[in-house]
Amino acid sequence: MLTVQQVGRFELRDFLGRGALGDVYLAWDPETQREVALKVVRANRADPEMLQAEKNGVALQRQLSSVAPQVAAVYEWGEDGPFFWVAMEYVAGDDLSQRLVHGPLPEDRAASIACQLCDMLEICHNFSAEVGGRKVYGIIHGDIKPENIRLQDEDRVRVLDFGIAKHLSQTRKFTVNLFGSLPYTPPERLDRGGVDRHSDLWAVGVVLYMCVAGYSPFDGEDPEEVEGKIRRGEPPKPLPPDVSPALGRIIVRSLAFQVARRYATAAEMKGDLEAWLEGEPLPGEQPRPAEPGEGREDLNATRRTSRPLSLDDSGISETRRTDRFAPAPPAAAPLPEEPPPAPPPARRRRFAMRYGGLLFLLIGSFLLASQVWVHSEAVAMTRELTTQTAPDLDGLWDRYRKLAPFSLPGSGLGDVRDELFTALVRSADRTLNAYHGDDPVSTLKGWQKAHDHLQAAVGLNYRDRSARAKMLYTQGHLDRIAAQKARSAGQADEAKQKVRDAVDEYQDAAKLVSDWPDPYLGLAHVYAYEQPDLKQLEGAINELERRNYPPGRREKAMLADGYRAQAEQIFAQARAAQGTDQEQELLERSRDTFTQAINLYREAGNFADAKANMTNAAQELRGILSRLEELGVW
């Protein structure tokens, strides 16, 4: 968040939220005399490609909002010193997520919301424009969920956060790992990372399910369990028994595991929803009319085994066209059977066989050559991993990613994957283990390298919970260090956000591997220094002991610092209460807390600044004792 109160001519009034590249504020535009949603990006800190994508995306959203009324309008954009800003329509109303807190919606309201979403997606998926000198065909939102759906009067739907859609259109830097939310992510996106119109339609199906059921179609104790259910194609939880059967069939089809069984387009899903709202049969369930020439391959067999066509079949009476239950007229005399089609000439067959065989030979040769190449590379990589004391893991990871698309079973790349996974985790463990004990080593470069190696390891074996936990743990340390830098630069709000991120990451890591002590080392540091909280600090150190990590001099120093900080707060309250009945009680509490801090500093010995801090605590304690003596307390 910004500490300034104005950007350009806009007066900032409230903080609305944070996106991937900037913050959004409720602002007042004195020139137009209206409230706007002002997105502010620190241009001097943003990746140049990402910033250019944002600028192109603004122009794209402006064009899109002119044809899709669900999309917030863009008024203008510009720069003010280090800031790039975008003034957009402020969309008032309630988020759908807030409505769903109170339970499911009536079915007609739920279907209307889904119908409006499909209407918007139909426009987006077929939208084309020229932005930044390149042609854009089709816009994928990529993050449809209740939090991004705002309901205005009479349930008018407005869709927020087109940041993903814009960036996917303009740059390749964003990936599925950065964007997307479970359970609104379809299985094929989880497997391959691709984002297309099917991702949006699946998300609409989940939103519709939640609107009529009041709960999520997929649940679990943690995100990994939810993701596993979606990946494996486990069916959603049953809908409530009172849900309309036809509406239920729309939901079931939209959440089918196989893409081919889902709605192919937003228009097709909208058609079924509109029909249901009108009380009509679903178009998607009507039999498909035969295409011209359909079934031609079986024509002769059909004529031989069923009633032959009559001469009048092409124009049989008006009755047949208007009353399908009217009796059919008597059949005319059968036509003579047609002989089966003649086989293709032998010369044509020889031609097809010759060139088909040549094509097969070329494909086989390519596959054989690629597997020879992959195998030779795999052998070389395995040798590096098993014989070198310090292999180039970053280079090996890059080589593995280039080989993986061409690998077939038996190429040897599977062995490389296992060896590389082990080496990457082992490399990161050296940084993690160096943070243990009374002489810990903690550097930004070390944590960044460990995180990069663990991220690669997770890419090799996502199912390994330990690797995922370690990756989250290292990210927590990176955010903790970033919070320290932000605080030193006077960016208090940014520092607080980074601390919250670090706490979340440490806690998520602890959930993945419940008997692992390391996340509590990170939490202890946060609660001792970044977000002082003596109760939480003591809890974190107790969790370390429960996991067979005995507190050492570092942990004793942390606790001492925590007690000293609390004692200073109580002493400040006592000075403020001087001359009142509360002063003595506060002084005695401060005295006891300072005494605990001093005892812990003694146990911490020579760790860091423990001795100097103990001296300062003892000096403050003497001042408290002197004041108590004045009050007649011994």
Q: Evaluate whether 450 touches 426 at the Cβ level (below 8 Å).
A: no
**CA 85 to the chain's CA centroid:** 25
**Which long-range CB contacts under 8 A does 83-86 form with residues at least 24 apart?**
83/7, 83/8, 83/40, 83/41, 83/42, 83/43, 84/22, 84/40, 84/41, 84/43, 84/46, 84/51, 84/54, 84/55, 85/7, 85/8, 85/10, 85/38, 85/39, 85/40, 85/41, 86/38, 86/39, 86/58
Q: Both tokens of residue 590?
A: 């401060």
Residue indicated by tokens 């001469």: 311
Pairing mode, if any, of strands 128-131 and 134-137?
Answer: antiparallel
Q: Where are the domains of the chain?
A: 6-89, 94-282, 553-634
Give the gyration radius of the chain's Cα atoms: 34
> Partners of 150 in the beta sheet?
95, 158
Q: Which amino acid is at 241?
A: P
Cis link prior to 183 (omega < 30° from 0)?
Answer: yes
Q: Evaluate whether 552 touches 529 at the Cβ level (below 8 Å).
A: no
Q: Evaluate whether 556 touches 602 at the Cβ level (below 8 Å).
A: no
Q: Which of 163, 116, 156 shows the shortest CA–CA distance to 139? A: 163
Q: Which helix (H) or strand (E) holds 447?
A: helix 444-460
Longest dimension (CA), the chain: 127
**CA 392 to the chain's CA centroid:** 31
CA distances from 600 to 435, 436, 543, 563 (A): 21, 19, 19, 9
Residue indicated by tokens 């990006």: 41
SS3 88: strand
d(CA 193, CA 207): 21
Q: What's the residue count for the chain?
A: 634
User: What is the tally of helices (H) and strands (E) in the chain?
Assistant: 22, 11
Domains 6-89 and 94-282 share a fold: no
SS3 506: helix
d(CA 523, CA 540): 6
Other beta carbons less than 10 A from residue 424's beta carbon: 26
What does the pLDDT read at residue 365? Answer: 65
**CA-CA-CA-CA torsion for 486, 487, 491, 497, nearest 10 degrees?**
70
> Partners of 158 in the beta sheet?
150
Q: Which of 103, 372, 344 shows the shortest CA–CA distance to 240? A: 103
d(CA 259, CA 202): 9
Pairing mode, if any, of strands 34-42 and 23-29?
Answer: antiparallel
The answer to whether the Cα torsion of 97, 98, 103, 104 is positive or negative is: negative
pLDDT along the chain (634 residues), means of 10: 74 78 87 92 73 78 89 90 90 89 94 96 89 78 88 87 54 39 83 81 96 92 83 92 95 94 95 95 69 40 36 35 39 43 53 63 65 82 87 90 76 86 94 91 92 91 90 95 91 90 93 94 94 94 94 94 94 93 93 95 90 93 93 81
Global pTM value: 0.48
- The CATH code of the domain at 6-89 is 3.30.200.20
- Phi/psi at 493 (5° precision): -65, -40
Domain 94-282 of CATH type 1.10.510.10? yes
Q: Which amino acid is at 238?
A: P
Q: Nearest 5 degrees, angle CA 163-CA 471-CA 379?
A: 105
Task: For 99-135, give one letter per residue: b (16+ CB within 10 A) or e.
Answer: bbeeebbebebbbbbbbbbbbbbbbbbebebebeeee
Residues in CB range of 487: below 8 A, 6 or more apart: 495
Q: Which of 514, 393, 515 shows the shortest CA–CA distance to 460? A: 393
Other beta carbons less than 10 A from residue 238's beta carbon: 10
Q: Evaluate whether 600 touches 560 at the Cβ level (below 8 Å).
A: yes
d(CA 600, CA 614): 9
**CA 608 to the chain's CA centroid:** 40
Q: Evaluate whether 307 touches 313 at the Cβ level (below 8 Å).
A: no
Other beta carbons less than 10 A from residue 279's beta carbon: 7
d(CA 43, CA 80): 10
